[in-house]
């Protein structure tokens, strides 16, 4: 029999005094904040408190941003040496580090993710992306992408709400390093760190118009996608919108990269180190409330260890702390929006009605805000919708397999192909499995590890192209073919 002794944690709240949120924001165009017309609120999803009023960019705003980006591209940025561009990127990276706490607190307030994650993952990785790409700016001719690589021009960049500042960094840093200028649109529920980043651009004295930020919803995103003055579209978000964008740019000269959904298999072979594996499963699906495109949302357990893994996993899940994202001890924070919560609730109900067995640890959820307890479904089959569709929440679907070949077949039986995980003590098995898996990123005995030097992207409906590393640079340079 196992006995567990639990200690009550005293609250360890992070102070929000470091951030100043204005009651209302405009757009950042040509190096200046300009007033918007219509506004909509952005809220803290953990409390439903309205944090600020955000401008909804219409055609005139997007036109102005594209014009500013074109002007900066022609007059300054495309003429500047890589060495000079690199200096600006280093400066931005250092300011992001100096203001890291401010960014982390703001990200957590606007997004609902635990302060521990924004502080230790999102913000340091965002700064790392600028440092890494600063290093490339004067070395593009040595990247193996041609002897004299040229930028594309103006990039339109549309990002989601799950890693707001980090996705901005993934988009802006390589674009600028390669000599492009940008018009970026953050997601409607998480615009605040992008607007703080605009201040960082001013602080770094980045030439006006190199970075332009317009806020708004899907209608603003569509204006960017369809704008004739834009040379490249970079999008991260739903597969549904990715398909709309692919259709819209198909008859144009625009380059495009799409980073879309996933339904990653996290495969546990019977020789896996079970305790470490359990940590990896938890990190794979409950990190960032499961709002992760590469989340390990399909757990494939070899039958002879399934019982043991599930037993240990449930024990471990009882210790996950769900609640106030601003508390430094919190593991799982708030669901980002009412809409996303509704989607998670709906798909979990489908899991029930399809006959899978639902389990969650007992946990008290706050009365205000949007919450969903960490959940696993066992007895899931490949035909179940919860095994096929992206839930994008803290919900794990558990399947079993008997032989390694069956594991691979099940893992690849998905319209997606973004990431996968392998847990095994045998190197030969890990290498064999990774060669069979149709996924862009494969982790072995770890999960959700990110690094700016490593390309990231998917197969099939998970998207087109790669971001990060040398491969990611290709997406911002002329005449470089990418898959």
Chain residues in the site for ligand NAI (CB under 6 A): 158-162, 185, 187-188, 217-218, 221-222, 225, 236-238, 241, 244-245, 259-261, 293, 340, 343, 390, 392
Q: Cβ of residue 447: shortest distance to ligand NAI, in angstroms?
A: 16
Least distance from Mg ion to the Cβ atom of residue 161, Å: 8
**Closest to 40 in 3D by CA, of 20, 61, 28, 25:** 25
Task: Pick between residue 53 and residue 238 the one whose CB is nearest to ligand NAI.
Answer: 238
- Nearer to Mg ion by Cβ, of 45 and 209: the residue is 45
Q: Is 353 helix (H, G, I), strand (E, B) or coil?
A: helix
Q: Which of 14, 107, 188, 259 is catalytic?
A: 259
CB of 297 to ligand NAI, least distance (A): 10
| Cβ at position 51, least distance to Mg ion in Å | 6
Measure Cα distances from 28 to 64, 94, 201 in Å.
10, 21, 10
Neighbour-count burial for 447-473, b at 16+ CB within 10 Å, e otherwise: bbebebeebbbbbbbbbbbbbbbebbb
Closer to ligand NAI by Cβ: residue 129 or 185 = 185
Q: Which of 14, 188, 201, 293 is catalytic?
A: 293
In the complex, the smallest distance separating the C-beta of residue 137 from ligand NAI, rounded to whole angstroms, is: 27
Rounded to an integer, what distance in angstroms lies between the CA atom of residue 19 and that of residue 11? Answer: 21
**CB 451 to ligand NAI: min, Å:** 17
- Confirm whether 293 is a catalytic residue: yes
Tokens of 114: 């635990």
Instruction: Choose the contact partner of 201 out of ligand NAI, Mg ion, none; CB within 5 to 8 A by kind.
Output: none
The angle subtended at Cα 379 by Cα 409 and Cα 429, nearest 5°, is 35
Residue 160 interacts with which of Mg ion, ligand NAI, none, CB < 5 to 8 Å by class: ligand NAI
H or E segment and range at residue 102: helix 100-111
CA dist 59 and 219 (Å) reads 9
DSSP 8-state symbol, 140: G
CA angle 295, 429, 463 (to 5 degrees): 35
Measured from the CB atom, is 80 or 248 closer to ligand NAI? 248
Contact in structure between 78 and 178 (CB atoms under 8 Å): no
Beta carbon nearer to ligand NAI, 179 or 458: 458
Alpha-carbon distance 105 to 102, whole Å?
A: 5
Residue 358: name its binding partner from Mg ion, ligand NAI, none (Cβ under 5 to 8 Å by kind): none
Q: CB nearer to ligand NAI: give 14 or 389.
A: 389
Q: Give the Cα separation of 215 and 192 in Å (integer).
A: 10
* Closest distance to Mg ion from the beta carbon of 287 (Å): 19
Positions touching Mg ion (CB under 5 A) are 42, 110, 189
Query: Could you tell me if 108 and 325 are in contact, meaning their C-beta atoms sit under 8 angstroms apart?
Result: yes
Query: Could you tell which of ligand NAI, Mg ion, none binds residue 336, using a CB distance below 5 to 8 A set by kind?
Result: none
DSSP string for 147-189:
SS--B-SEEEEE--SSSHHHHHHHHHHHHHHTT-EEEEE--TT
Residue 221 contacts which entry, ligand NAI, Mg ion, none (Cβ below 5-8 A, type-dependent): ligand NAI
Distance, in Å, from the CA atom of 463 to the CA atom of 235, rounded to the nearest integer, reads 9
Q: Which of ligand NAI, Mg ion, none does residue 42 bind to, with CB < 5 to 8 Å depending on kind? A: Mg ion
Q: Which is nearer to ligand NAI, 121 or 236 (CB)?
A: 236
Catalytic (active site) residue 259: yes
CA end-to-end span of the chain: 54
DSSP secondary structure letter of residue 332: B
Q: Which does 238 bind (CB under 5 to 8 A by kind): Mg ion, ligand NAI, none?
A: ligand NAI
Catalytic residues, which ones? 259, 293
């Amino acid at each position: 029999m196992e006995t567990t002794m639990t200690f009550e944690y005293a609250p360890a709240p992070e102070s929000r005094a470091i951030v100043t949120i204005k009651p209302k924001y405009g757009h950042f165009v040509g190096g200046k904040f300009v007033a918007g017309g219509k506004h909509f609120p952005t809220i803290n999803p953990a409390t439903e408190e309205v944090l600020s009023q955000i401008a909804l960019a219409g055609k005139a705003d997007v036109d102005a941003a594209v014009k500013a980006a074109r002007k900066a591209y022609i007059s300054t940025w495309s003429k500047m040496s890589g060495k000079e561009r690199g200096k600006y990127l280093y400066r931005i990276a250092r300011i992001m580090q100096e203001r890291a706490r401010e960014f982390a607190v703001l990200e957590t307030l606007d997004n609902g993710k635990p302060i521990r994650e924004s502080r230790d993952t999102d913000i340091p990785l965002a700064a790392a992306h600028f440092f890494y790409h600063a290093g490339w700016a004067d070395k593009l001719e040595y990247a193996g992408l041609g002897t004299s690589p040229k930028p594309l021009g103006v990039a339109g960049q549309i990002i989601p709400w799950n890693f707001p500042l980090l996705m901005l960094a993934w988009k802006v840093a390589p674009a600028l390093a390669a000599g492009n200028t940008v018009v970026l649109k953050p997601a409607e529920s998480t615009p605040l760190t992008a607007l703080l980043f605009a201040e960082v651009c001013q602080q770094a004295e980045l030439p006006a118009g190199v970075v332009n930020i317009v806020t708004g919803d899907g209608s603003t995103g569509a204006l960017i996608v369809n704008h004739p003055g834009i040379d490249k579209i970079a999008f991260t978000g739903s597969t549904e919108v990715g398909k709309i964008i692919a259709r819209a740019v198909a008859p144009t000269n625009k380059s495009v990269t799409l980073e879309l959904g996933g339904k990653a298999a996290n495969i546990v072979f019977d020789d896996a180190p079970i305790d470490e594996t359990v940590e990896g499963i938890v990190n794979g699906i409950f990190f960032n409330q499961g709002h992760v495109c590469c989340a390990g949302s399909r757990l494939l357990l070899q039958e002879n260890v399934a019982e043991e893994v599930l037993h240990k996993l449930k024990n471990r899940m009882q210790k996950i702390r769900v609640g106030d994202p601003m508390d430094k001890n919190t593991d799982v924070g708030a669901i980002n929006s009412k809409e996303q919560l509704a989607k998670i609730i709906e798909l979990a109900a489908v899991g029930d009605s399809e006959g899978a067995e639902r389990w969650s640890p007992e946990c008290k959820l706050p009365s205000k805000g949007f919450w969903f307890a960490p959940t696993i479904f066992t007895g899931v089959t490949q035909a179940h919708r919860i095994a096929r569709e992206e839930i994008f929440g803290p919900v794990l679907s558990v399947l079993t397999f008997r032989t390694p070949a069956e594991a691979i077949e099940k893992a690849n039986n998905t319209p997606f192909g973004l990431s996968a995980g392998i847990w095994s003590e045998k190197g030969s098995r890990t290498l064999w499995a990774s060669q069979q898996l149709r996924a862009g990123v494969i982790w072995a005995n770890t999960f959700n590890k990110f690094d700016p030097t490593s390309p990231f992207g998917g197969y099939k409906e998970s998207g087109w192209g790669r971001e990060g590393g040398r491969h990611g640079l290709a997406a911002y340079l002329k005449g470089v073919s990418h898959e």
